[in-house]
Chains A and B, each alone.
Chain A
Amino acid sequence: RKEVEQDPGPFNVPEGATVAFNCTYSNSASQSFFWYRQDCRKEPKLLMSVYSSGNEDGRFTAQLNRASQYISLLIRDSKLSDSATYLCVVNPVSGTYKYIFGTGTRLKVLA
């Protein structure tokens, strides 16, 4: 089993739709979780850190489910500009700064 797994997609959704991605992780001791966004041929950019209690930033909501070992990202009212690859990132070893990236989920928002 991979340390971090994501559905590669693509998820094709119409503008205005709500879409959700999950990311599962294998190490139950993992402590830190993030979502990054990567546009084609660009570097990843931090979208959100994921807090234990869940957190929201505008149209984006991130949640952590420790019991089932997954994190989720919900995007409401999708915009064309949300089209990108969304990378899940996990720090599997507490006390270190080693981060493991998923392969990413590709989102296409259609007009």
Chain B
Amino acid sequence: GAGVSQTPSNKVTEKGKYVELRCDPISGHTALYWYRQSLGQGPEFLIYFQGTGAADDSGLPNDRFFAVRPEGSVSTLKIQRTERGDSAMYLCASSLEVAGLYEQYFGPGTRLTVT
């Protein structure tokens, strides 16, 4: 079946601009996660949704970052007034419960470059 998809695959924007990154999870997965990964580091947790609600947004670095999942499926990560330090790979994952463990499946990511 179809995996997690993310669009765009690459985004180049100027400092100060607004960007939206989209994630389409695996059908039927109720949990959805956003991560940010810089070179040489592991993915850094940003936020996760259970259904439509943000169950934990403690990883969002500041109030320029916001994410929504209005219908419990597709999610959008929104970044206002982008800064060069926001440049990274943004990964989305959705999860399925297997034997009590929630195994995450990742999309290919959106590489964001802020110039």
Residues of chain A whose beta carbon lies under 8 Å from any beta carbon of chain B: 4, 8, 32, 34, 42-46, 49, 87, 89, 91, 96-104
Residues of chain B whose beta carbon lies under 8 Å from any beta carbon of chain A: 31, 33, 35, 40-45, 48, 50, 55-56, 58-59, 91, 95, 98-99, 101-109
- Complex contact B101–A49 (CB within 8 A): yes
- Complex contact B109–A97 (CB within 8 A): no
- Determine chain B's interface SS by DSSP, over half rule: strand
Q: A32-B101, A45-B106, A102-B42 are in contact. List 7 more A-B contacts (CB 8 A).
A: A34-B101, A42-B108, A46-B104, A49-B101, A87-B43, A96-B56, A97-B56
- Complex contact A98–B107 (CB within 8 A): no
- Complex contact B33–A97 (CB within 8 A): yes
Residues of B within 8 A of A99 (CB): 33, 45, 104
- Complex contact B55–A96 (CB within 8 A): yes
B42 to chain A, nearest CB (A): 4
Residues of A within 8 A of B43 (CB): 44, 87, 101
Q: In the complex where A46-B104, A49-B101, A98-B56 touch, is A103 in contact with B109 (Cβ < 8 A)?
A: no
Contact for A104 among B33, B35, B42, CB less than 8 A: B42
